Amino acid sequence: MICRPGPHHRPYPHHRLDIRILLLSVLLPGFLAACSASEKTAPHLTITEENGVTVVTTTGGMPTGSPVFTFEPILTLKEDPANEESLLARASYQFSVGDNGWYYVPDLRLYDIAVFDSGGEFIRRIGRSGDGPGEFRSINVQRVTGDTISIFDFQNQRTTLMQLDGTLIEVIRPSEGGFRIGFDRGPDDTYILEGVTGNDDGDVGYTSYSVTIVDSAFDTIGHFSTATVAANMLSRIEVSPGSFSTLSVDIPYAGFPQIAHAPWRGFLASDGDSPDLVWYDYRGEMSMIIRTGLDTRPITSGVRSGYEERVRRSRLERVRERGTTPQPLPDYPWPDACGFFGWMTVDDEGWIWLEDIWTGTEEPDKLTTTFHIVGPDGRYWGTAELPAIRFAFAKGRLMCSVEDPETGAYIPTIFRVVPAIEGVSYP
């Protein structure tokens, strides 16, 4: 999500009503459908064990009908035109909520963090642009815990811990080599290193993404890696100790290997070409297999044309933002059927959100994105429709920046997650 206008283009408060109307027009139909649909009971879950690993399988037919959740907009963060400091140049979608209910929003253009109270009123900014302690060249809030905020700086390759008033606590750098895209503390004096490396497998070049868990001495405890091999359209995911899978998939519709970190539980892995999900603990050992029961779908000429139109629009958008030259669409080796998940995340309540890889393909102009919903116990519940923009979860709320229809600027907006069917609860 790129905020194209600068700070002086930010909407004034009377535009907030337009935002709410837009959001309601997107989300209300699903809510009404949920209210009018017949009640359905919780899907049946079968729990077995294979080689000492718990396997959970949703059985008895896939749930259909009403959405699992709807999303009610409850707050937009208030920027004051009279206070230039409160104006966000480019708000990140990935903002966080503290135990005090305050919101911490990275400004991706000014490289600091804007702080708003629980009512959305601007309080202060912490951090600033630069290379010194407490300064940033890129900014990603990892989490707010108690009175501490953890921030990863990709450009400076370090994590900074600060008090919530901006007082510097500590700057941490990975002690081992390699280019890092994430560096964070884990449980029991461990660290989690995320990295990207270029590799060569014979005549084939590829880029791999890795997650390594190390102890306080930076000795490796567990390691996960995924790689997409663009030259011959292969993807793979490997985990050590043990092995998750090695696979061959066709791009774009077989999905992509992914790893999601849930601080309270471990790592969730998907090979992108299977409906199964696998949980690993902080030693890289398999702890649970989730068999969702989802099915592949055939790729028709209509689906292909819809996908190509979406890619074309995306490339034109990048051209407008960066001033580059549009590149021709690759001649993909189209498979007969697609994979499953375009993106996955785990919220802080333990719910798993799996983006349907078909989103925006059959309907390029669709304003919402379909997500498959899996509960904390591995039970598949059905789907939910979310705004077709990037988002994050924190403290039981969904947060994203929503485009103002008049100005084109993006406004940080908070949603309440509302259960829409019997048997589902959410804080």
User: Residue 15 pLDDT more than 50?
Assistant: no
DSSP 8-state secondary structure symbol assigned to residue 109:
T
Q: What's the pLDDT score for residue 405?
A: 75
Confidence check: pLDDT of 215 > 60: yes
User: In sequence order, what are the residues at sequence separation of 6 or more whose Cβ sits closer than 8 angstroms to the Cβ of residue 411?
Assistant: 11, 16, 19, 76, 77, 91, 401, 402, 403, 404
Question: What's the chain's average pLDDT?
Answer: 75
CA distance 398 to 384: 13
Whether 17 has a pLDDT exceeding 60, the answer reads no
Give the pLDDT confidence of 275-314 residue by residue, as tens digits.
889 998 888 788 999 998 887 777 777 777 776 776 677 6
Farthest-apart Cα atoms in the chain, separation? 64
Per-residue pLDDT at 135 exceeds 60: yes
- Other Cβ atoms closer than 10 A to 278: 21
Q: Output the pLDDT for position 6.
A: 30
- Look up residue 406 and give its two tokens: 């008049």
What are the DSSP E strand ranges found in 80-190? 96-97, 103-107, 112-116, 122-126, 128-129, 135-136, 140-145, 148-153, 158-163, 168-172, 180-185
- Peptide linkage before 252 cis (omega within 30 of 0): yes
Q: Where residue 126 falls among pLDDT bands split at 50, 70, 90? A: very high
Provide the pLDDT for residue 172. 83
Please write the tens of the pLDDT for every residue from 341-399: 778 899 989 999 998 876 555 666 677 888 999 999 999 999 998 877 788 898 889 99
The larger pLDDT score, comparing residue 257 to residue 137, is at: 137
Cis peptide bond prior to 241, omega within 30° of 0: yes
Q: Give CA 307 to chain center in angstroms.
A: 21
> How long is the chain?
427
Give per-residue pLDDT as tens, 262-282. 887 888 888 766 788 999 888
* pLDDT surpassing 80 at residue 410: no
- What's the pLDDT tens digit per position in 366-382? 778 889 999 999 999 99
The DSSP H or E segment spanning 321 is helix 301-322
Does the structure show a pLDDT above 70 at 409? yes
* Strand 204-214 relative to strand 276-280, pairing: unpaired
Q: What is the pLDDT of residues 53-68, one digit of tens each?
A: 999 998 866 566 679 9
pLDDT at 104 over 90: yes
* pLDDT at 163 (0 to 100): 94
C-alpha span between 157 and 361 (Å, rounded): 36
Would you say residue 202 has pLDDT above 70? no
Q: For residue 165, what pLDDT is reported?
A: 92
Q: Supply the pLDDT for residue 406.
A: 76
C-alpha span between 407 and 421 (Å, rounded): 36
Tokens encoding 131: 């290379």
pLDDT > 70: what percent of the chain?
68
In a 10 Å sphere around its CB, with 0-12 CB exposed, 13-18 middle and 19+ buried, how is residue 5 labelled? middle
Domains and CATH numbers, the chain: 7-299+334-419 (2.120.10.30)
What is residue 272's predicted lDDT score, i.e. its pLDDT? 67
